[in-house]
Amino acid sequence: MKSFTRFFVAGVHPHGMKSLSAETPIERCPAPKRVYIALSQGVGKPSHPVVEVGDTVKMGRLIAKADGPVSANLFASVSGKVAEIAPYTDTAGNQSRHIVIDNDGLDTAEKPFTPLLNPQPEEIVKRVSDAGIVGMGGAGFPTHVKLTPKKRIDVYIVNAAECEPYITCDYRLLTEYAEQVVEGAFLLAAAVGVTKVCFGIEADKLRAIEALKRYKAEKNLHNLTVVPLKTRYPQGAEKQLIYAVTRRRVPSGGLPMDCGAIVGNTHTALSAYYAVREGKPLYERVMTVSGKGIRKPSNLWVRNGTRYGDIAEACGGELNNTAKILNGGPMMGASQISRDIAVTKTTGSLLFLTKDEFVVATSSPCINCGKCGRACPMRLMPMYIDSFALAGDYSGSKKYGALECIECGCCSYICPANRYLVQSVKLAKKKIKELGL
């Protein structure tokens, strides 16, 4: 039978650069002497500390409680003493409060939850909420909120596309922890009354696909589908992924549940497995450390609150020519201003890039080539949104669909005039909201 891969329309095909770390098995990053756990680690309100300076904590202890529904619990990632609750620079470059713990080096652990062997859907939702599980692909949206949809869901999709260049942590997780990721995905699906799980994964991630298919065959999982997707950026964007996997379209301004789907990240499924089956809260994660500026590109288990400098040291140190540090991938990641910033639950990669790995170019006037429109996966006209935004006419930007933008950066990547298109669209979105247009 002829095999084929599914795809979405438009997008770009940047250099993958994944070979730097793709075949490097996951190792453990040594726990640092101090961890700096940010109270704000996602889209919602910062968590509220429930420990005080001087308290002794075990690894896995609740140290900050969710403040409202779109916030998440935080847990100690080492055992030791709370040294400070004070402002430090966070991944967004802002000063925000962190809980600082001096590591006693003993890793004395506590498991705040009992393992659940045959949980009911509401028990899974509660456990996911209690254990501080969030979407670990970027935004950090609390997973339990997604698990209480107001509409009927019939498919749970695991986002295993990992389409950003350099990043290989999901690929390694699927290759090495396929059983736990699949079981975690079925638990999350069961929480919303769904029995069908689909993994959307780029077709060139052969070992991960093999591992998933092997586990499916071993356990005779008829309700598990592995869907190979074309290797193209942004294949892992929610709307593009749903379309590629199910051929359903999320309506404009709508959510995945509007077409009967929920999408969850690969690592989120693994964390849900540990929380439900082993009673382990989310205080560490696997991330990729890569780029030509790091001596030993790696995939590592890293404790929440570990500073970039400590991570670089665990990877053999930096080479002398690092010109930029990115939290996230080169398409959507954010430049970092210091090595003293600490990773959070959503840090999937840390890139140490040299000058030849990114472009610093002067922007010139638009030449009306139309490439940005052809590359835009949301079928927008970024050049028009940009020109209205530059003229301060944000209603014009809105008319051309600025609010539909998923901030993937394809337009900026493809533009021969090096225009700052995604930055301009982001500004327009912010202004449209601020001005209530």
Greatest C-alpha distance within the chain: 65
The only residue of 370, 391, 399, 430 in contact with ligand SF4, by rule CB under 6 A: 370
Told to check if 391 binds ligand SF4 by CB under 6 A, we report no
Which residues have C-beta within 8 Å of that of residue 182, sequence separation ≥ 6? Answer: 197, 212, 215, 216, 221, 224, 269
Residue 388 to residue 100: CA distance in whole angstroms: 45
Beta carbon nearer to ligand SF4, 87 or 416: 416
Contact status: 425 vs ligand SF4 (CB under 6 A): yes
Part in contact with ligand SF4 (CB under 6 A); list of ranges 18-26, 118-126, 197-205, 412-420: 412-420
Nearer to ligand SF4, 190 or 405 (CB): 405
Q: Which residue has the tokens 């093999």?
A: 210
Using CB under 6 A, pick the residue from 380, 389, 427, 428 that binds ligand SF4: 380
Measured between alpha carbons, how far is 234 from 240 in angstroms, rounded to an integer?
7
CB 268 within 8 A of CB 138: no
Residue written as token pair 């403040």: 67
Does 408 engage in binding with ligand SF4 (CB under 6 A)?
Answer: yes
Query: How many degrees, rounded to 5, is the angle at CA 290 between CA 288 and CA 294?
Result: 130
Identify the residue whose tokens are 């609740």: 62
- Cβ atoms of 140 and 42 closer than 8 Å: yes
Q: Is 319 left (phi over 0), alpha (psi -120 to 50) or beta?
A: beta
Binding of ligand SF4 by 13 (CB under 6 A): no
* Binding residue (CB under 6 A) for ligand SF4 from 158, 178, 383, 428: 383
CB 238, min distance to ligand SF4, A: 12
User: Measured at the alpha carbon of residue 436, what is the angle toward residues 430 and 437, in degrees to the nearest 5?
Assistant: 90
Give least dist CB 328 to ligand SF4, A: 15
- What is the side-by-side order of every strand in the sheet holding 48-49? 48-49, 62-65, 74-75
Q: Does 378 bind ligand SF4 (CB under 6 A)?
A: yes
Q: Which stretch binds ligand SF4 (CB under 6 A): 176-184, 218-226, 299-307, 408-416?
A: 408-416
Which candidate, 14, 9, 13, 15, places its Cα nearest to that of 373?
9
376 binds ligand SF4 (CB under 6 A): yes
* CB 233 to ligand SF4: min, Å: 10
Do residues 185 and 225 lie in contact, with contact meaning Cβ atoms separated by under 8 Å? no
Instruction: Check binding of 87 to ligand SF4 (CB under 6 A).
Output: no
Compare residues 128 and 375 and give the one whose CB is closer to ligand SF4: 375
Q: Taking the complex as a whole, how short is the minimal distance between the CB of residue 366 and ligand SF4, in angstroms?
A: 3
Least distance from ligand SF4 to the Cβ atom of residue 432, Å: 14
Question: What's the closest the beta carbon of residue 163 comes to ligand SF4, in angstroms?
Answer: 13
| Interacting span for ligand SF4 (CB under 6 A) from 62-70, 209-217, 261-269, 399-407 | 399-407
406 belongs to the binding site for ligand SF4 (CB under 6 A): yes
* CA–CA distance, 221 with 216 (Å, rounded to integer): 5
Q: Is 334 in the site for ligand SF4 (CB under 6 A)?
A: no
Q: Which residues contact 69 (CB under 8 A, 6 or more apart)?
A: 44, 142, 145
Q: Which residues bind ligand SF4 (CB under 6 A)?
A: 366-372, 375-378, 380, 382-383, 405-411, 414-417, 419, 421-422, 425
